[in-house]
Amino acid sequence: MTQAKPRFRTIEEYLDYDDGTDTRYELVNGELVEMPPEMPINNLIVSFLFATFLRIGIPHYRLVIGHQVVTSSTKVTARQPDLVVHTEESVSAILSGSRVLQAEMPPPLLVVEVVSNSEGDKRSRDRDYVEKRKEYALRGIAEYWIIDPNRSAVTVLALNGDEYQEMGCFQDNHCIVSPVFPALEITAKQILQAGM
């Protein structure tokens, strides 16, 4: 017997749902979307960036792996970026008792997505390059990084109005240009190799 996927009309319904597994989900247009297991390099990249942001003076409590962000969409959607760099306001808001960063709460400063399989999985690629790009921009997140190990590229997008402007698609030993973190001195190669 096939069990129907649950549909959610509100974030609260989604937050109350428990399927009894440790499966990671995002909520997209009211439907659960199972997140595939991460490639081992993806977790290393996120850990490396976490440590890098600590070194440039971002307080540890503003760096988070696992916070979900409600995005502006026609239907109820909550995304879970690989890394979130909060503002003081957004971290205070989510720590006020909410399990997700609600739409009415201040947006984080930066979200980072590490693409799981851009060459073999068009849905994964479209999710990070198209869908999340629109959603994070409408949510007012100042900067969005797409890290793509398959393409050996780091794309930095900066918010300009309600759309992102590409600051660059960085590869090899090219230094990342980040309007939010102008003092950051790191290359695409360092990120893609997780500092190894």
Number of domains in the chain: 1
Q: Which two tokens stand for residue 127?
A: 């999710």
Neighbours of 41 (CB within 10 A): 15
Burial class (CB in 10 A: 0-12, 13-18, 19+), 90: buried
Residue 71 lies in a domain: yes
**8 A C-beta contact, residue 95 and residue 18:** no
* Domain residue limits at 146: 37-192
Three-state DSSP state, 182: coil
Residue 54 lies in a domain: yes
**8 A C-beta contact, residue 124 and residue 115:** yes
Element (H, E) at 63: strand 63-64
Pairing relation of β-strands 31-34 and 25-28?
Answer: antiparallel
Residue 157 lies in a domain: yes
**8 A C-beta contact, residue 157 and residue 145:** yes
Residue 17 lies in a domain: no
Separation of CA 77 from chain center:
13
Q: CATH code at 146?
A: 3.90.1570.10
Residue 10 lies in a domain: no
Residue 12 lies in a domain: no
Per-residue confidence of the chain (196 residues) as pLDDT tens digits?
445 566 766 666 666 666 676 666 666 666 766 666 667 788 999 999 999 999 999 999 999 998 889 886 656 578 889 999 999 999 999 998 888 888 899 999 999 999 986 566 677 778 889 889 999 999 999 999 999 999 999 999 999 999 999 999 999 999 999 999 998 999 999 999 987 7
Residue 3 lies in a domain: no
Element (H, E) at 192: helix 188-192
Residue 22 lies in a domain: no
Taking the C-alpha atoms of residue 75 and residue 64, their distance in angstroms, rounded to an integer, is 25
